[in-house]
Structure 1
Amino acid sequence: MRGFKAFSAFCAMLLMAVSLAGCAGSSTKESTGGYIDDTVITTKVKAALFNDKSIKSSEISVETFKGRVQLSGFVSSSQSANRAVEVTRRVQGVRVVENDLRIK
């Protein structure tokens, strides 16, 4: 009976370790917590761009991976692109901004 309990405890610990390893991130894959953090950053950036009336945010796409925000899409001028980058940099949690915006 004692051996069965030890084996059961070992199996339970092994199962927990495997399930937690599935949530871990790597250089190309985010952890579950990192994904949630990046989703929050993306939402905050989109809101900040939307609230800035000098930027036509409907044509700007925002993607975030580990705090690195990529802006892509179309803007009417280089000033609008620079303003979008500036607004994005001010959002809490943004580490780097990649400007892939194109001027129409």
Structure 2
Amino acid sequence: MIFSKRISTFFLAAALISVAGCASTSTKEGTGEYVDDTVITTKVKAALLNDATIKSREINVETFKGVVQLSGFVVNQSDATTAATLARGVKGVMSVKNDIRMK
């Protein structure tokens, strides 16, 4: 009886530790957040590719906890503004940091 309680306590503790290992912190994403951010990044890149006016190959997209960061180079300021607008239109984007520079 005591042995079975110790074993069940051990497995409960192991389960709690493994779940805590997947939790996020302010500087590290949890597993679910990482997957969500990957999906957001892919959708933003697709939106940029579908826009004929922007040379999206020169724009980098990174996402952390729903915040999208755009970086790279464009020909004019309107392309940078358009890229930020397209990124804001993607579902799941909390905010956009536009670090795109003009050539």
Aligned position for 1:55: 54
How many percent identity over aligned positions?
55
Spell out the pairing of 1:27-38 with structure 2 (5 A cutoff): 27-38=26-37
Q: Which blocks of at least 5 consecutive residues in structure 1 are unaligned?
A: none
| TM-score, length of structure 1 as denominator length | 0.98
Distance 1:6 1:68 in 2: 45
- In the alignment, which residue of structure 2 is the partner of 1:84? 83
Does structure 1 residue 20 correspond to structure 2 residue 19? yes
Q: TM-score, normalised by structure 2?
A: 0.99
Aligned length: 103
CA distance in 2, matches of 1:9, 1:95: 42
Give, in angstroms, the shift of residue 26 of structure 1: 0.7
Q: Quote the residue 1:75 is aligned against.
A: 74
Distance 2:38 2:83 in 1: 18
- Unaligned 5+ residue runs, structure 2? none
Structure-2 separation of matches of 1:44 and 1:6 = 49
